[in-house]
Amino acid sequence: MRRHFDDLQKRMEPVSIASFGDAQIVKHLDGKLEIRGGTEQEKTQAHDWMKQFNIQSKPLTLRRVR
């Protein structure tokens, strides 16, 4: 079976773990978690959730999406 570049690229995309309104927590292949989008309140909720349930992850990255 031959693999296509598109299949490889799809596997490298981050996976959505949870969402709080418009804020999403995504996990990258290297284990880093990232909060994307949302209001400041939604980001705070997402960050609190991460601190409560996901203690063993790599450092958090906040990304502003416009």
The DSSP H or E segment spanning 35 is strand 33-36
Handedness of CA 38, 39, 44, 49 (dihedral sign): negative
Structural domain includes residue 44:
yes
What is the spatial distance between Cα 25 and Cα 36, in angstroms, rounded to a whole number? 6
Partners of 26 in beta bridges: 16, 34
Average pLDDT (49-66) is 64
What is the spatial distance between Cα 66 and Cα 1, in angstroms, rounded to a whole number? 40
This prediction has a pTM of 0.65
pLDDT digits (tens, 9 = 90+) for 5-48: 566 566 678 888 889 999 999 888 888 888 999 999 999 898 88
Structural domain includes residue 3:
no
Would you say 45 and 52 are in contact if contact means Cβ atoms under 8 Å apart? no
Number of structural domains (the chain) is: 1
Average pLDDT (54-61) is 58
**pLDDT, position 1:** 56
Structural domain includes residue 8:
no
Which residue range is the domain that position 21 belongs to?
13-63
Residue 3 has pLDDT above 70, yes or no: no
